[in-house]
Amino acid sequence: MSFEGGTPIAEEYRTGDKSALRVLFCIGISQRFFDAEADERATVIAAFRAAFDGLDDRLGVRVLGTMDDDELMVGPSEGWPWTCYILADVPDLEAVTAVTTLLRDAEVGVHRLWRYARIEARVGRPLFFGNG
């Protein structure tokens, strides 16, 4: 969709406040998670909960919603479609990086969380329509 020569509303959208980042964090679970024994999978799940708990207080990331596609998709996800998603308002790119780094830093026994999952961040801004 091109906004060149568009309406005043579209022009305001293109030139308005660009400080607000709307981010879709896309998370794919790897085959290693599915190959793990039940107790190891439980440890991975606990590590996910701990790593992503309190994003607002820790990083200023306001989670708007989440979606888990585990009912209609079974097995590993190395890319689209992802296993689960987090939609959030994020203050800056440093905070986006901090969220993706959670998989690098979170420990799962002798490994890191990134052994079991991957994360990708799609960064944009709030859409000018459909927000309530």
pTM of the model: 0.84
Look up residue 36 and give its two tokens.
């793990």
Please tell me the predicted confidence (pLDDT) of residue 80.
85
Please tell me the predicted confidence (pLDDT) of residue 63.
97
Look up residue 81 and give its two tokens.
């479609």
User: Domain tally for the chain?
Assistant: 1
Look up residue 17 and give its two tokens.
């406040």
For residue range 92-104, list pLDDT tens digits in order: 999 999 999 999 9
**Is pLDDT above 60 for 9?**
no
Asked if residue 33 is part of any domain, the answer here is yes
Confidence of residue 73 (pLDDT cuts 50, 70, 90): confident
Domain hosting residue 53, numbered range: 24-124
Look up residue 84 and give its two tokens.
């689960």
Look up residue 98 and give its two tokens.
């901090």
Asked if residue 69 is part of any domain, the answer here is yes
Give per-residue burial for 17-45: e unless 16+ CB within 10 Å, then b.
Answer: eeeebbbbbbbbbbeebeebeeebeebbe
Asked if residue 7 is part of any domain, the answer here is no
Please tell me the predicted confidence (pLDDT) of residue 14.
58
Please tell me the predicted confidence (pLDDT) of residue 77.
87
What whole-number distance in Å separates Cα of residue 18 and Cα of residue 98? 20
Q: Which CATH number is 79's domain given?
A: 3.30.70
